[in-house]
Amino acid sequence: MSSATRSELGSEAAVERWLRAYRQMLSIRAFEERVNDLYTRALMPGLAHLYLGEEAIAVGVCEALNRDDYITSTHRGHGHCLAKGAAPDRMFAELLGKEAGYCRGKGGSMHIADPATGNLGANAIVAGSVAIATGAALSAKRLGNGRVTVCFFGEGALGQGLLYEVMNLAELWKLPVLYVCENNLYTEYTHYEETTAGEIPGRAAAFGIKSETVDGQDVRAVYAVAAKFVAGARRGDGPGFLVANTYRYHGHHVGDISREYYRPKEEEQHWKTERDPLKLLGSWLLKQGLADEAVLARIAAEVNGQLDAAVQFAIAAPYPNPEEVDKDVYA
């Protein structure tokens, strides 16, 4: 990856940034591996859509945001929530339906929301949050608070008309919102080329919205482009559209085991061995001399220890009381 400038490499802040990004990506990976485990052991109810393989996008984008900036997320949202600052223990608690979860157990895996970290919510309707994100950007502009909103969605959302309604408005009104299209090639069990006419960036171009396509496995590339868009949005340049090419390692959800009918094993293997975001950043850190094997091993040990404790916390946490069932229907 060539976008790291000399000054970027030299500065201590940059070293810290990439070590932090490495730790965060590893946390998401470790989180999702434990979700897989909890789910297959029947400890987690519902559905689990894993973000394994896509970690660099959430981390690269959120690295460009402030804590009080907003995000909206999707059914495959654990990575976005963690990257925006959610704590793994309360995330696991929510996934297990426990009172200590971010939504007191009422949201679950697909609805993590947290005002403290600017998380407006994951959404189980494909493209369901694109208007909410755009509305948050409208508030930020009206209130002049300088906040930027990032709207994460999968390429499946390109099929929803709502996206184009709000992109039109975002550009008309120059709203500080960054649309991040995570193209992991498959919407559930169908290759996106079977469902998507034309080119993805052409959709942004139609509204005069600036777009860039990046290697979503390269956290530094994602960060560089996201930071540029976020800075522009904060300055008042209006929306941006970022297409991040990526791959999900596992099935659409944990139960999607036999996948050969829609994608070959060799393809999965190729992404895992050649295009893994953690391996790419890890070997870059080593090559640049910004970390050695011992540092990376220590980070891994710390992350794994934290996440094991987080799982234990969630398993031990109590369920909500029955009286909670009809609380908070109305504010």
Ligand X SMILES: Cc1ncc(C[n+]2csc(CCOP(=O)(O)OP(=O)(O)O)c2C)c(N)n1
Residues contributing to the site for ligand X (CB under 6 A): 75-76, 124-126, 154-157, 184, 186-188, 252
Q: How many CB atoms lie within 10 A of CB 76?
A: 26
Shortest Å, Cβ 32 to another protein = 22
Instruction: Please give the full DSSP string across 59-124, using - where no structure is assigned.
Output: HHHHTTS-TTSEEE--TT-HHHHHHTT--HHHHHHHHTT-TTSTTTTSS-GGG--BGGGTB----S
On whether the CB atoms of residues 16 and 239 are closer than 8 A, the answer is: no
Q: Does 131 bind another protein (CB under 8 A)?
A: yes
- Choose the one of ligand X, another protein, none that binds residue 114, judging by a C-beta under 5 to 8 angstroms depending on kind: another protein
The listed partner (another protein, ligand X, none) that binds 289, CB under 5 to 8 Å by sort, is: none
With CA atoms as reference, report the closest residue to 91 among 165, 35, 158, 173.
35
Q: Is the Cα dihedral 198, 222, 263, 24 positive or negative?
A: negative
Contact between residue 136 and residue 119 where contact means Cβ atoms under 8 Å apart: no
Of 10-49, binders to another protein (CB under 8 A) are none
Q: Which of 26, 44, 61, 136 binds another protein (CB under 8 A)?
A: 136
- Whichever of 167 and 221 has its CB closer to another protein, that residue is 167
From the CB of 170, what's the least distance to ligand X, in Å?
19
When CB distances are held under 5 to 8 angstroms depending on the partner's kind, the choice from ligand X, another protein, none that residue 184 binds is ligand X
Please tell me whether residue 143 binds another protein under the rule CB under 8 A.
yes
Q: Which stretch binds another protein (CB under 8 A): 34-42, 118-126, 251-259, 304-312?
A: 118-126
| Residue 327 touches which member of another protein, ligand X, none, C-beta under 5-8 Å by kind | another protein
Least distance from C-beta 193 to another protein, angstroms? 26
Closer to ligand X at the Cβ: 158 or 311? 158
Scanning residues 311 to 330, which ones bind another protein (CB under 8 A)? 327-330
String marking each residue 165-194 x if it binds another protein according to CB under 8 A: xx-xx--x----------------------
Residue 16 CB neighbours (<10 A) = 11
What does 217 bind: another protein, ligand X, none (CB cut-off 5 to 8 Å by kind)? Answer: none
Cβ distance to another protein smaller for residue 17 or 111: 111
Asked if 282 is part of the footprint of another protein (rule: CB under 8 A), the reply reads no
For residue 275, the SS3 value is: coil
Lay out the sheet containing 240-245: strands in order across.
Answer: 70-72, 149-154, 177-183, 240-245, 210-215
CB of 300 vs ligand X, minimal distance in Å: 26
Count of residues binding another protein (CB under 8 A)?
A: 46
Spell out the alpha helix ranges (H) of the chain: 6-10, 12-40, 55-62, 78-83, 88-95, 130-143, 161-172, 200-206, 219-235, 265-274, 277-287, 293-316
Instruction: Specify the 3-state DSSP secondary structure of 281.
Output: helix
Nearest distance, CB of residue 331 and another protein, angstroms: 4
What residue 257 binds from ligand X, another protein, none (CB within 5 to 8 A, per partner kind)?
A: none
In the block, which residue shows the tokens 């201590």? 12
Separation between Cα atoms, residue 165 and residue 144, nearest integer Å? 24
End-to-end CA distance of the chain: 49
- Which residues of the chain form contacts with another protein (CB under 8 A)? 70, 72, 101-107, 111, 113-115, 120-121, 123, 125, 128-140, 142-143, 145, 149, 161-162, 165-166, 168-169, 172, 327-331
